[in-house]
Each structure stands twice: as C-alpha cells, then as structure tokens.
Structure 1
Amino acid sequence: MNTDNCFLIIPASGIGKRMNEIMPKQYLKLDNGKSIIDQCLKTLLSIDRITACVVAVAAEDDQFKLSSYFNHPKILSIVTGGKERHLSVFNALNSLSNIANNNDWILVHDAVRPCILSEDIENLIDQVFDHPVGGILATRIIDTVKQISSQKELSTIDRKTLYHAQTPQMFRFGILNEALKKSIEFDNIITDESEAIENLGHSIKIVKGSKSNIKITQTDDLKLANYYLK
C-alpha cells in the first residue's frame, strides 16, 4: 500500500493590485459570506487524503488570524511569504522539511481560486499518485489564439497544443524543493510550480480540470466566482 502523505500549501501573501482594493483580494468577501481564501480552505481541508496544510501570508498580514480556519486542526503552520509566489511556496516547503519525505506529495493551490471542486482535487490525486514527478489540473484552450511579433505581425497559434494551467498542482516534495531552489539560485521568476519542474527537464501529467476553477484577478472575476458558487 502506498503511504505517501499529501500536504497542502496555500501561498496567500499577494496584495492583488489589479483589483484596486485596499484589502488583499484573498480576503474579499463572496456572496456566501466567506472570504475567498476561506472558500478555498473549506473545499480543500475537507479532502480526507490531505494530511496537513501550510499557509504562507505576508509579513504584515493581520487578516488570516480572523479566518474561521485559523485554528483548524489540519493547519500545521503559518509562515511568512515572499515577494514572489515561488518564494512563498519555498518558505512553506522549508516548514515541512522535518516532516515530509522526498516522495511525499505537495499540493499547491492559489488562495484566489475559490471555485475548485472536491471531485477535481480527488481526481488529481488519483491520477497523479503513482507518477514519479507529479501533475496539474488544466483545461484545453478552445478559443483561437493570436500572437503579435515584435514587428507587430499577427499570427495564429495551434490551439490543439495549448492548455490553461490551474491549481492545485501536485508534485513530489523532493523534486519540487529542488526545482524551487534552482529557480531562486538562478533568479528565475516563475509563474507556477510546473514551470520550475519543467526547467529541471521533468515531464508532468495533465489532468482535466473544470472551466469554473477560475483565478480571481479582476473585479469581473469576483462576479463570475459568485455565479459559479451559487
């Protein structure tokens, strides 16, 4: 029987400048009364196979202590995040270094994807659990995609090869830790964990996600999230 643990990391130290709000966007309230991050935690912490959770918040954060999940038994620690997402994840990994084995699983989920479905998380774990590296939730791009060159010339990209990457993203602790160390060492700015893994030359598994698993970055996204949650 495979006994590898699944640990959850929530990087939540962003300030969400594009929302034009005083409060970081992960703490904005949804129509159901929950904050965006609390809605994420409600779904993720209900997954039995997730052993424990680490939340990374900004040094000056005074909001997460008001979360209804602040004292949840699965929340192992709250760490200080970095200026970039991958630095927050790396700090969270460090807090697990005395607990997690290299083969244990790390699931990283954006604090501003409140519409994640339990069945998608379960399916990701099922599909990736025996993989040597890990995988991500993603959806195929169905729109025609255009690219503008530096000479302002327009071209069409073959959408058959393109995906929208989502979270959670699920990787072995040892491989993810090594990948993020390399990113920091070479001062690479990466947008998600899979990019760091790819930079090491590893292949990852794509698991079908749901279109409703949106990332809230602008005001209209909040309206759409409320629609999906209803």
Structure 2
Amino acid sequence: MMNTIDQYFLIVPASGIGTRMNADLPKQYLTLNNGLTVLDQTLKTLLAIENIKACVVAISKDDTKFKNSLFANHDKLLTTAVGGKERFHSVMSALNALRPFAKDDDWVLVHDAARPCVKASEVSNLMATLKNNSVGGLLAVRVVDTIKKSENNIVEKTIDRLNLWQAQTPQMYRFGVLFKALTNVIENALNITDEASSIEHLGLKSVLVPASKSNLKITTAEDLDLANFYLKETFT
C-alpha cells in the first residue's frame, strides 16, 4: 500500500573523475559561466523543488572539494556517502545512508551531478506522472537521428529508431524497489549503466517521461560549452 503523502529523496552520485574532460578537476567541480560549479548548479535546481525532502550526495573517499560547495551545509543535505567503483556502488552507498529516513514506498530520485541543465518543471512532471506507479521511471528523449550499428567503423545495419529513447536523469523509483534491484546487481555481478537497467533485471517496467534535449550530461569540453548556452537561455 502506497503512502497517502509521498516523500521524495534525492541521490546525486558525484564521485567520478571525468577522465574524458581532460581537465585538472573532476567535471562536477568545473566552474560554469554563471560562477557556480556543475554540481552546485545541479543542486541549486533540485534542492529548490519543494517536494524533495532531503538529499544524499555520493562523493569519492578522496574528495576535498565538496566541503567548499555552496550546499555543503544545506538544510536538505542529510549526509554525504562514500562513492564506489561504479555508479551503482555509489547509489547503493547513498541508499544505505537513506535507510534510517526512507520507507520502502517512498520515492528516490537519482540524478547525475553532471546534468546541471535539468529543469525543475520536468522533474515536477516526472513526479506527477509517476505518483500512483508502484515501480517508477525516468526522464528521456526520443531518438530522432538515424542510428547505425557498426563494426570497426563499417556500417552493419540501420537500427529502427521508432521505439528508441535516450535515457536521462532523474531516474525515480520506490525506495524498496530500487534497493532490491541494486542488491540483485551487486550480488550477481551484473553490468549496468543506470538505475533503469537494474529494474529491468528484476523483470519490472519503467515509465519513460519525455524531457528536453537540454538536460545533457557533461562528458566533454564541448558539452560544457553547450551547458553554458542552455543555462544562459534558461536563466537570463
């Protein structure tokens, strides 16, 4: 039976080192044109959402930067968790930190630290769309480009894009469902790249909630430029 009043908790995995950025800092600590770090811009948007009750940020055990975050002492920050080797290890660490506070039917939103252009309106739409769902879902955008499968840069075939989506974050699931799914991943040494993949391994279904292309994940220097453009368009 679901809560009559849903509680929403936020997890932000932020322990990556961002090797593809070729930068001196992990990408979540790079400074945007608005003066905020990538991580702080992400937290600024999400922690301002009234329905989000509390947050756990997963950081590297060697992290020396988060203490300087504008949100290191935020009222909604419950604690930091120690990030792991893979993303799902970091999320599981954060879930364990949440266990004293969250019930199985509470919601957990997992959002990439390196997606600073996420729109609060789209997160709110995700919450509203999934409100009565027993599992959860994620923000995503339909694939519009023609997709090719290749071998050594030679096209093998064209993939039908009709039912293809690009997964984004937040990915939002009931606490108990996500905890069970990630426990299954760890116990069975499964290889996943997002929370929705762990849900698939339980044989459960995730709902895709349409979002904007502007909710990009910063991976390269070019992405950082694009994020600065989107943020300028959104907040000016």
Q: Residue 198 of structure 2 aligns with which residue?
A: 196
CA distance, structure 1, for counterparts of residue 151 and residue 20 of structure 2? 26
The two structures have a TM-score, normalised by structure 2, of 0.95
Aligned letter for 2:230? Answer: Y
Q: Which one of 73, 76, 79 corresponds to residue 77 of structure 1? A: 79
**Cα RMSD over matched residues?**
1.3
Q: Residue 45 of structure 1 aligns with which residue?
A: 47
CA distance, structure 1, for counterparts of residue 209 and residue 58 of structure 2? 26
Label 1:30 to 1:159 Cα distance change in 2 as closer, same or farther (>3 A).
same
CA distance, structure 2, for counterparts of residue 57 and residue 150 of structure 1? 36
Deviations 1:5-28 (A, max 9, x none): 100000000000000112110000
Determine helix, strand or coil for the equivalent of 1:182: helix
The two structures have a TM-score, normalised by structure 1, of 0.97
Aligned letter for 1:61? Answer: D
Contact 2:12–2:113 (8 Å) recurs in 1: yes
Aligned letter for 2:105? Answer: N
Q: Residue 115 of structure 2 aligns with which residue?
A: 113
Matched ranges for 1:18-33 at <5 A = 18-33=20-35
Q: Which one of 137, 158, 161 corresponds to residue 159 of structure 1? A: 161
Q: Residue 93 of structure 2 aligns with which residue?
A: 91
CA distance, structure 1, for counterparts of residue 164 and residue 70 of structure 2? 38
**Superposed displacement of residue 99, structure 1:** 1.4
Label 1:91 to 1:221 Cα distance change in 2 as closer, same or farther (>3 A).
same
CA distance, structure 1, for counterparts of residue 106 and residue 175 of structure 2? 6
Contact 2:148–2:155 (8 Å) recurs in 1: no
Matched ranges for 1:47-66 at <5 A = 47-66=49-68
Q: Residue 129 of structure 2 aligns with which residue?
A: 127
The worse-fitting range, judged by mean Cα deviation, of 149-158 and 100-109 is 149-158
Structure 1 unaligned runs (5+)? none
Deviations 1:112-166 (A, max 9, x none): 0000001001000000111010010000000000012589552111101100000
Determine helix, strand or coil for the equivalent of 1:206: strand
Task: Give the % identical residues.
Answer: 52
Aligned residues: 230
Q: Residue 220 of structure 1 aligns with which residue?
A: 222
Q: Which runs of 4+ in 1 moved over 6 A?
A: none
Aligned letter for 2:211? Answer: G
Structure 2 unaligned runs (5+)? none
